Amino acid sequence: RKEVEQDPGPFNVPEGATVAFNCTYSNSASQSFFWYRQDCRKEPKLLMSVYSSGNEDGRFTAQLNRASQYISLLIRDSKLSDSATYLCVVILPSGSARQLTFGSGTQLTVLP
């Protein structure tokens, strides 16, 4: 079983739609969680951290469910510029130098 699993998609949605991605992680002691965005043939960039209480940044909302070991990302009113691959990232327990563990990514295409 992979340590971080995501639905690869692709998700093709019209402009203005709301889309949600989920990610599950296998290590219950994982400490920190993030969503990164990666545009085609570019490097990954931090989109947002995910906090236990949930957090929102404009049209983006991230949620963490530690009991079920999943993380979600909700994008409201999607824009063409949101088209990218969204990577779920988990930091493993303290003591492991393998700090950032990535999911395979979920591909989103927002259609005009």
Partner 1 sequence: DTGVSQDPRHKITKRGQNVTFRCDPISEHNRLYWYRQTLGQGPEFLTYFQNEAQLEKSRLLSDRFSAERPKGSFSTLEIQRTEQGDSAMYLCASSNRDSLNTEAFFGQGTRLTVV
Segment near partner 1 (CB under 8 A); pick from 13-21, 56-64, 76-84, 87-95 = 87-95
Rg of the chain, C-alpha, whole Å:
14
Q: Which stretch binds partner 1 (CB under 8 A): 2-10, 14-22, 55-63, 69-77?
A: 2-10
* Residue 98 engages partner 1 in binding (rule: CB under 8 A): yes
CA separation for the pair 104, 77 (Å, rounded): 25
Q: Does 103 bind partner 1 (CB under 8 A)?
A: yes
Considering Cα of 45, then 89, then 93, then 2, what sign does the dihedral take? Answer: negative
- Residue 81, phi then psi, degrees to nearest 5: -70, -10
The binder of partner 1 chosen from 27, 55, 69, 104 (CB under 8 A): 104
Minimum distance from residue 15 beta carbon to partner 1 (Å): 25
